[in-house]
Chain A
Amino acid sequence: MMRTVLLFLFTFTCCISSYSQEYKCEDGKVKFISKAPLNSFDGNSAYLHGLIDLDKNLIDFYIDLNTLKTGIALRDSHMREDYLETEEYPYAEFTGEIKNLNRVSASELKEGLTVTAIGEFKIHGISKKRSITGELKLNANGNLILNTEFPVLLKDHNIEKPSLLGYQIADKQTVKINATLIRQ
């Protein structure tokens, strides 16, 4: 019995250390674009934290929403306090897996490959199952570059829109992500 346990443990340790294909970043770029007839603006952050593990087929990204800046400090304050409510819901996050990862080869990754991630996207405390398409590319240094763009509907996540005069915000926000994940 004990021998089985030890053997199991040993095998597990070997698996983890030798086959890990983990890529991580803490400085990915996120941009959201808000387009409205009279008032278009964008918000940016360079604090996207991400993990792509090709072995376990795990994708995990999050951003501290307090780091988003739209260029107008008062608008940022209202965004944090009244709309995203970052004190209660500080993060936007996505956790999921890459569809058909077992069919992806290393050489394909080097050339840049369009992949689809399926998982849960959560912001403002509300999760939605999403399928998000983006490009993954393995660069010369062995790091993984991710580029993606996807829409987020405010009403999906129960994010209020300013209702009186003032800012104009469309329900559909476009989110763009550009991150270089470093091989661990």
Chain B
Amino acid sequence: MQHLFGNNYSTILTVLLLFLVSISHAQLKRERVVQDQEVELTFDAPRLINLYTTEPLNKNDLHWSIMHTFGELNNGIQNLWGIDNGANIRLSFEYAPSNKFSITAARSSLDKVYDLGIRNHYLIQKKDNSMPVSVSSMFSVAVNTNNYKFLDNEAPAFNERLSFVGQLMISRKFTKKLSMQLSPMYAYFVDNRAIYLTKSKDQHHPALAYSIKYTAFGKYSFTAQSIIDLDSPENSNVGFGIDIETGGHVFQLYVVSAANLNDSYLLADEVDRPFQSLRFGFNVNRIFTLGKSKK
């Protein structure tokens, strides 16, 4: 008998210990309700400097943005570094009928371009890394509505005024502070005339763009962007600035090399010395929640 107990002594102790453990841990085990939480706020707004981001709108959100660029900084103090040249403006409204899809209508002042576009969201990065990136796309059609009354010869026909642009956006929020996006882009002009306010007169504009956001402190982030022309990689657009997230508005202040603000014109605006045509610009973004707020 003594022998038998001796053998099981450790077993009994273990059982006892288990009991004690289960008693002392009588608190509830903390378990998350949502396991594969989606990554949020990869970027402050659906725009970063010049380009769209993967940052989605929620269903029934309306994103209003007004973007500006001014004259070149090298105009000097006489023209207040380009501010006196006046602003090029792009006004845009983007509405999301669903969490995955939105429609944009916009007007840019240079060449009086109206554009109509869509943005789709296919994948959203997950916090548990079961999905490492977010993937979205955008496509838009733009029409130059300048009446060209000042021309001696005939103004371009409607279809000759069209341009198209598409891009795939692949982003990742690497840390709480650092987000990056890679965007293969392509723009096509039906007839890129000399009179149009584009710097490059090619019809086809394949490009690769990247965007970076680094949250420096609180609601302030540093941003940088480059759009590289794949046909002539020495040509590019660059931009860098700061995002200020105010809770209601997102202000984006920057310097960029392109004056144009709509996407197709932007790709035709790449230059071989981007740092020599830098200019000041800023975006104001505001997202409105339409419809009934759901509980």
Does any Cβ of A come within 8 Å of B247's Cβ? yes
Chain A CB count within 10 A is highest, among B15, B19, B31, B40, for B40
Query: Which residue on chain B has the smallest CB distance to residue A56?
Result: B26
Interfacial chain A residues near B127, Cβ < 8 Å: 87
Contacts A74-B61, A165-B247: A6 and B27 contacting too (C-beta < 8 A)? no
Interfacial chain A residues near B80, Cβ < 8 Å: none
Expressed in whole angstroms, the Cα–Cα distance for A69 and B289 within the complex equals 14
B295–A44 CB distance below 8 A: yes
A71–B293 CB distance below 8 A: yes
Expressed in whole angstroms, the Cα–Cα distance for A162 and B12 within the complex equals 57
Partner of B28, one of A60, A67, A90: A60
Interfacial chain B residues near A8, Cβ < 8 Å: 16
B32–A5 CB distance below 8 A: no
Interface string of B272-295 (1 = CB under 8 A from A): 000000000000000101000111
A73–B58 CB distance below 8 A: yes
Expressed in whole angstroms, the Cα–Cα distance for A164 and B250 within the complex equals 11
Expressed in whole angstroms, the Cα–Cα distance for A104 and B30 within the complex equals 29
Interface of A is mostly: mixed
Interfacial chain A residues near B61, Cβ < 8 Å: 73-74
Expressed in whole angstroms, the Cα–Cα distance for A9 and B15 within the complex equals 9
Does any Cβ of A come within 8 Å of B112's Cβ? no
Does any Cβ of B come within 8 Å of A121's Cβ? no
B249–A77 CB distance below 8 A: no
Query: Which residue on chain A has the smallest CB distance to residue B215?
Result: A82
Interfacial chain A residues near B219, Cβ < 8 Å: 82, 163-164
Q: How far is the CB of A78 from chain B (nearest CB, A)?
A: 7
Query: Which residue on chain B has the smallest CB distance to residue A69?
Result: B295
Does any Cβ of A come within 8 Å of B33's Cβ? yes
Contacts A6-B12, A165-B249: A78 and B32 contacting too (C-beta < 8 A)? no
Does any Cβ of A come within 8 Å of B37's Cβ? yes
Chain A CB count within 10 A is highest, among B12, B28, B34, for B28
Q: How far is the CB of A18 from chain B (nearest CB, A)?
A: 15
Interfacial chain B residues near A62, Cβ < 8 Å: 28, 30
A167–B5 CB distance below 8 A: no
Does any Cβ of B come within 8 Å of A47's Cβ? yes
Query: Which residue on chain B has the smallest CB distance to residue A51?
Result: B28
A165–B32 CB distance below 8 A: no
A81–B27 CB distance below 8 A: no
Contacts A53-B26, A77-B41: A166 and B34 contacting too (C-beta < 8 A)? no
Interface string of B18-59 (1 = CB under 8 A from A): 010001001110111110010011000000000000000011
B289–A72 CB distance below 8 A: yes
Interface CB pairs A-B, < 8 A, 13: A9-B12, A9-B19, A16-B23, A50-B28, A56-B26, A58-B27, A62-B28, A64-B32, A66-B34, A73-B289, A90-B30, A95-B27, A164-B246
Task: Name B's A-contacting residues (CB within 8 A).
Answer: 5, 9, 12-13, 15-16, 19, 23, 26-28, 30-34, 37, 40-41, 58-59, 61, 127, 176, 218-219, 244, 246-249, 287, 289, 293-295
Nearest 3 interchain pairs by C-beta: A166-B247, A71-B293, A166-B248
